Amino acid sequence: MTARVIDGKAAATGVIERAKTAGAALAAKTGVRPGLAVVLVGEDAASQVYVANKGRTAEACGFHSVTHRLPTDTTEADLLAVIDQLNADPAIHGILQQLPLPRGLDANRVVGRIDPDKDVDGLTLVNAGRLASGMAGEAFVPCTPAGCMVLIRQVLGESLAGKSAVVVGRSNLVGKPMAQLLLLADATVTIAHSRTGDLARVCREADILVAAVGRPEMLGADCIKPGAVVIDVGINRIAAPERGEGKTRLVGDVDFAAASELASAITPVPGGVGPMTIAMLMANTVSAAYRAAGEAPPRF
């Protein structure tokens, strides 16, 4: 068996186009233009790239896009004041605090200050609680697991009833909300992690395997059930001496070559889950704008 490679770039393009169309329709009907604000503190190189990509995508969607770039020595009080300002701004419907924050700043306190109705990253306790309570229609779901569900449904359809799903990873950002979304789609879900006994055996039971542990190629062929759908969230940079001295390459948490011989479908790294994260941020921002305007948000 050679697995179908799930094209995350194409799926992300489709979501972004729908977000662009929905945003324009809302503006034409109500005069409300979706607005996204991203807050970046410090000079982290990867964060700079991510923030620039988010801003460009928001502008391409026709959104009102704002980026607040604050110095590394910004105090928590000053950062919270920026969040308060954005909470009160009617032109801003989505607020994203770029993480990680510099030392001395409490990420939980800062993220918790965001108005839950503008929390398009889905990280506040209110949105986590809504999702855990089965109120996904009222919650903002973290963008990466939301994007994973789009890809899974491309392969398996809307209902996952009768499917066994294993999520490897228990983070608040991916693992836990991913498990909640799979449960809401009627899958039978197991959350596994690095300390799970006989991890390979647990993974081999999965019709749907989602890997989100941050360890390069941790899950090999012994973890894959024949015919499984494999969603690899990991993005790990490893040495690639075959490309030349000092060269590197990106790999996921799954051994792609080995898994491809057993799975029915699999996401590549790069080009799989990654593009969906920004796409779902645009979708969440549009949904926030619709709610603010008193309109029923579109489904992505």
User: Is 171 annotated for ligand binding?
Assistant: yes
Catalytic residue among 20, 97, 98, 207: 98
Query: What is the C-alpha separation between 232 and 266, in angstroms, rounded?
Result: 8
Picking from 243, 231, 233, the residue whose alpha carbon sits closest to that of residue 274 is 233
User: Is 130 annotated for ligand binding?
Assistant: no
Catalytic residue among 117, 121, 232, 253: 121
Catalytic residue among 20, 54, 118, 163: 54
Determine whether 121 is an active site residue.
Answer: yes
User: Is 18 annotated for ligand binding?
Assistant: no
Determine whether 54 is an active site residue.
Answer: yes
Q: Are the C-beta atoms of residues 206 and 187 closer than 8 Å to each other?
A: no
Query: What is the C-alpha separation between 73 and 105, in angstroms, rounded?
Result: 10
User: Is 235 annotated for ligand binding?
Assistant: yes
Annotated binding-site residues for NADP(+) read 169-171, 235
Annotated binding-site residues read 169-171, 235
Residues marked active site are found at 54, 98, 121
